[in-house]
Amino acid sequence: MNTNQPEGLAHEIAVPKKEDYHGHPNYLIIYISLLILFAITVFASLIPNPLVVFIIVFVISIVKGSMVLLYFMHLKWEPVLIWILLGLALMTLLFLTLGLYPDIVSVKPYLVTKP
């Protein structure tokens, strides 16, 4: 929480100022590396063990997702607040996963066939 920020009503800053913008990353390089990662994903799926595929694929998805977030959505240049917001969303999902895990994965349902 900082106290010495520039003041003013929001109408004045609703339209971003020029200096609000940052140096741009080279979008083409990001795009090409996304495609390469995607190719790896598709080829990784040929591995016969589903658990290995799952882990590889999930990690690569996280990398790809964060690349889009960081460079295409310019999260890298956004203020901490946005990071906090997204972090809270991830924290929510983490708690949900931890809470659901024992009740979904480790329960073998006792299936009675419904007549």
Binding of other proteins by 26 (CB under 8 A): no
Contact 76, 70 (CB under 8 A): yes
Work out how close the CB of 15 gets to other proteins at its nearest, in angstroms, rounded to a whole number.
6
In one-letter notation, the amino acid at residue 17 is K
Q: Write out the two tokens for 33.
A: 């590396």
Binding of other proteins by 50 (CB under 8 A): yes
Binding of other proteins by 7 (CB under 8 A): yes
Cα–Cα distance measured from residue 14 to residue 16, given in angstroms and rounded to the nearest whole number:
6
Work out how close the CB of 69 gets to other proteins at its nearest, in angstroms, rounded to a whole number.
7
Binding of other proteins by 40 (CB under 8 A): no
